[in-house]
Amino acid sequence: MRWLSISILLAACGGAPVHAEEATASPVIIDVATGQRVSFDAMVTRLVGARVVYVGERHDRAEDHRAQRAILIALHAQGPARALGFEMVQRPFQAALDAYARGEADEAELLSEVEWETRWGFDFAMYRPLLEFGREHRLRLVGLNAPQETTRTIAREGVQALDEATREGLPEMNRDDSAHRARVIDALSHHPGMDDAMLERFYTAQLVWDETMAETVAATEGPMIVFAGGMHVVREAIPMRAARRGAEPYGIVVFEDEMPEEAAADFVWLTGPLPEDH
């Protein structure tokens, strides 16, 4: 889960990530609070009524995206959402999403306008069902993310390298969450050549990313379903930061190959072998 979100940030300083290959797996859903396996329907029932439901992903895993669609369909059937939020689209391109949602732009125009290939780069085919569902059901499609130019500059040179207007436009940031810092720093530290100064710059860029998405979520009328990388939807990333701004209650679903020792989510959807005791 952690690697792909960090890889996107690193890719923002270089090229776009590669496209995904199709994958299949049999999911098992674990209620983190009890450690017990639950049915898909039971999970959905628990999530209905949340102001925001965060559904994570490994960006290059097709099975995650199929599960996202299943969750979206089930939640919408029980308690229709008003908005879908996407990490994959940066906030300056909201007008392109709006035009697509209204049927005034087709898929090719959307991809061109949001600069999908250079700013995201993962296979759009995996995301198409989510966006088409939103358009078909007249939901607001919301670009959550900070501009690549901002996070890239911070990661390379630091906040001081931003122009004054961009610095003043940064979201309010809580740098005191030790769990968030530890998670991000741990993921970053696995990349070669990261000294302390680089780690701090990249952490700040990740923080701007999470706080920007949280700010956007909180500013969007709910109920809302958010699709973002697993590292962004753990409790101390977007969810708590959006809740600080009033976007609560919330629920979190993440995808893993095996059950982690600690899961900062409500449900873990397993795509690997069953735990021995389930």
Residue 277: count of CB within 10 angstroms of its CB: 8
Residue 210 has pLDDT above 50, yes or no: yes
pLDDT for position 248: 97
CA 227 to the chain's CA centroid: 5
Instruction: Provide the pLDDT for residue 272.
Output: 61
CATH architecture of 2-17+27-270: 3-Layer(aba) Sandwich (3.40)
Residue for token pair 């923080």: 207
Domain residue spans of the chain:
2-17+27-270
Do the Cβ atoms of 204 and 154 come closer than 8 Å? yes
Q: Convert the pLDDT of each residue in 19-58 to its tens digit.
A: 333 333 446 999 999 999 999 999 999 999 999 999 999 9
Closest to 233 measured CA to CA, from 71, 111, 94, 76: 71
* Cα four-point dihedral sign 238, 144, 50, 252: negative
Which regions of 116-229 does DSSP assign to beta strands (E)?
Answer: 140-145, 224-227
The lowest-confidence range among 20-34, 157-171, 218-232 is: 20-34
For residue 102, name the pLDDT band (cuts at 50, 70, 90): very high
pLDDT at site 278: 39
Residue 12 has pLDDT above 50, yes or no: no
Look at residue 16 and tell me whether its pLDDT is greater than 50. Answer: no
**Rounded mean pLDDT of 183-190?**
83
Q: What is the pLDDT of residues 57-90, one digit of tens each?
A: 999 999 999 999 999 999 999 988 899 999 999 9
Q: How high is the pLDDT of residue 187? A: 82
Residue 169 predicted with pLDDT over 60:
yes
> Where in the chain does DSSP place strands (E)?
28-31, 36-38, 52-55, 83-90, 140-145, 224-227, 250-256, 267-270
The chain-wide mean pLDDT, for the chain, equals 88
> What pTM did the predictor assign?
0.88
Residue 94 has pLDDT above 70, yes or no: yes
Residue type, 94: Q
In angstroms and rounded to an integer, the radius of gyration of the C-alpha atoms of the chain is 18
Average pLDDT over residues 11-26: 40
